Amino acid sequence: MAKNAAHSAAAADATPLSENGTSLYVHVPFCVSKCSYCDFNSWELHDGGALERTVDALLAETRIRAKGLRPQTVFLGGGTPSLLPPNLVGKLLDGLHDATDFRNSSLETTLEANPESFDFETARAAFGGGVTRASIGVQSLRPDVLRAYDRVHTASAARQAFFTARKAGFQRINVDLIYSFPGQNSEEWFEDLEEVMAWEPEHLSCYELSYEPGTPLTKAKDSGLIKAENRDVALQLFNETRARCESRGLSAYEVSNFAMPGEECLHNLAGWRSLDCVGVGAGAVTWQGGVRRKNLAKPEDWIRSVESGAEQAHVERPGATTRMFDCFLMGLRLCKEGVSISRVFQQTGLHPKEVWAKELESLFGESLLLEEGDFIRATPRGLRILDSVLGQLLPAGSGGEFTSEQV
Ligand code: SF4
């Protein structure tokens, strides 16, 4: 069954990703300053020397944990990796290649960049060092919205960053945008979207503004200073955004992600398919062989831990039902593809239609999920209420399946 399962997941896959391949994620945890909506593991950079120590520690950790990995995708994320000066971009990429051979193995190597720090020299250092895809955090082209997000760049810097990436040689560029800013005129959002699409990026990420616990934006909402966008308006923005992207050839392949044909982000696709990934850097997560490992989050703690030669991390071994739920949590976001039943079996040893016979029957009956060949995916209606769909599959007492340890 496992052999057939692997065959049928691969047969339905038009991308070059291997079911048995492993990705590499490299986390650069610093930013110029913290954005008001951000709950990523990112920290304001106060001391330029921290960047050099971070690169050294990233390379040391890669040599220990990813030596000879030959990753099928690489993603340098953050934080703001473009904050690294060109010489450190070059040092990091050379060191990653020496340890993992990524320049010969990786199908796609992405660098996240922000407009305030993505000049031509940095872009050239990245491109020349083996980065094949740039992902630029634009978020908005409105000065008032950028200010409310505490972004440190202007709209014109964002435009410039995009064309700098092109000039440096990047033929694959993603732009990140956020919609549903409280009270924003819808027309302004669509003007931003249309302008960005006119730049002709190969990929677009359009996220609805989310209020994560503890962020300044959430505090402003909770104290009544701002009011979250009305759900009906947000839904209308979501639907029209998808329609406009599709009309320009940017296909909605994930809830918030749009790509020209063949331009899907392979690294993220591997993650949504729950394929293995080694993460290095502060707070980075590794998912490999059914074991999840999370590095220490604070950059200084993580650097010391790596430098000590006995790195600490939090390790979990989730049980099979939890892993199957995670496959659905990630995979149902892929609106055109969904979750491969045979891949779930291959990864967990469980068959979702046996374990969740009643639950899936009910979700199929309510037209929230549908089954097509080897795949289960959300219907347009199911996609809009994905949290509640997943709530019906949540394994009771799944927390009991975890074991944690410090290593
Ligand atoms: S630039 Fe990105 S990672 Fe850094 S604070 Fe802003 S949203 Fe967070």
Distance 73 CA to ligand 1 centre (A): 22
Task: Give, in order, the Cα–Cα distances in Å from 126 to each of 130, 134, 169, 209, 216.
Answer: 7, 9, 10, 30, 33
- Least Cα distance to 112 among 158, 154, 80 occurs for 80
Distance 267 CA to ligand 1 centre (A): 20
What's the rounded Cα separation, in Å, for the pair 72 and 42?
26
Q: Quick check: CB of 77 below 6 Å from ligand 1?
A: no
Q: Quick check: CB of 321 below 6 Å from ligand 1?
A: no
What's the rounded Cα separation, in Å, for the pair 112 and 60?
21
Q: Is residue 17 within 8 Å of residue 72, measured between CB atoms?
A: yes
**Residue 407 clears pLDDT 50, i.e. is over it:** no
Neighbouring C-beta atoms of residue 217, cutoff 10 Å:
24
**Residue 394 clears pLDDT 90, i.e. is over it:** no
**Residue 164 clears pLDDT 70, i.e. is over it:** yes
Confidence of residue 227 (pLDDT cuts 50, 70, 90): very high
What's the rounded Cα separation, in Å, for the pair 238 and 209?
11
Q: What is the mean pLDDT of residues 230-258?
A: 95
- Please state the atom number of ligand 1 nearest to the C-alpha of residue 139: 7
Ligand 1 pocket test: pick from 35, 145, 207 the residue with the most ligand atoms within 8 Å of its Cβ.
Answer: 35
Distance 99 CA to ligand 1 centre (A): 28
- In the block, residue with structure tokens 């202007």: 154
Q: What is the mean pLDDT of residues 41-53?
A: 94
- Between 3.30.300.90, 3.30.420.40, 3.20.20.70, 1.20.1070.10, what CATH number should domain 20-272 receive? 3.20.20.70
Distance 109 CA to ligand 1 centre (A): 20
Side chain identity, residue 234 = A
Residue whose Cα lies nearest atom 6 of ligand 1: it is 35
DSSP string, 359-394: HHHHHHHTTSEEEETTEEEE-HHHHHTHHHHHHTTP
* Sign of the alpha-carbon dihedral angle for 399, 400, 406, 407: negative
Q: Which two tokens stand for residue 217?
A: 């934006």
Which residues, in sequence order, are CB contacts of 20 under 8 Å at separation 6+? none
Q: Quick check: CB of 207 below 6 Å from ligand 1?
A: no
Q: Quick check: CB of 114 below 6 Å from ligand 1?
A: yes
Ligand 1 pocket test: pick from 42, 139, 174 the residue with the most ligand atoms within 8 Å of its Cβ.
Answer: 42
Which residues, in sequence order, are CB contacts of 246 under 8 Å at separation 6+? 252, 258
- Please state the atom number of ligand 1 nearest to the C-alpha of residue 33: 5
What's the rounded Cα separation, in Å, for the pair 42 and 33?
9
Confidence of residue 9 (pLDDT cuts 50, 70, 90): low
Span 84-140, pLDDT tens digits: 999 999 999 999 999 999 999 999 999 999 999 999 999 999 999 999 999 999 999
Residue whose Cα lies nearest atom 5 of ligand 1: it is 34
Q: What is the mean pLDDT of residues 282-287?
A: 98
Span 297-311, pLDDT tens digits: 999 999 999 999 888
Ligand 1 pocket test: pick from 27, 38, 43, 139 the residue with the most ligand atoms within 8 Å of its Cβ.
Answer: 38
Range with lowest mean pLDDT among 26-40, 124-138, 355-369, 390-404 = 390-404
Side chain identity, residue 35 = C
Helix (H) / strand (E) containing 243: helix 231-247
Alpha helices (H) along 169-215: 186-198
Higher pLDDT, 124 or 403: 124
Residue whose Cα lies nearest atom 8 of ligand 1: it is 38
Q: Quick check: CB of 331 below 6 Å from ligand 1?
A: no
pLDDT of residue 397: 54
Helix (H) / strand (E) containing 105: helix 102-105
**Residue 182 clears pLDDT 80, i.e. is over it:** yes
pLDDT of residue 309: 86
Span 318-374, pLDDT tens digits: 999 999 999 999 999 999 999 999 999 999 999 999 999 999 999 999 999 999 999
Domain ranges of the chain: 20-272, 320-398
Confidence of residue 243 (pLDDT cuts 50, 70, 90): very high
The mean predicted confidence, pLDDT, of the chain is 93
Q: Which two tokens stand for residue 141?
A: 């082209």
Span 11-23, pLDDT tens digits: 456 789 999 999 9
What's the rounded Cα separation, in Å, for the pair 72 and 18?
8
Its CATH architecture, for the domain 320-398, is Orthogonal Bundle (1.10)
- Residue 203 has φ and ψ, to the nearest 5°, of -150, 145
Q: Quick check: CB of 137 below 6 Å from ligand 1?
A: yes
Rounding to the nearest 10 degrees, give the CA dihedral for residues 292, 296, 297, 302.
-130
Q: What is the mean pLDDT of residues 264-293?
A: 97
Q: Quick check: CB of 80 below 6 Å from ligand 1?
A: yes
Distance 79 CA to ligand 1 centre (A): 6
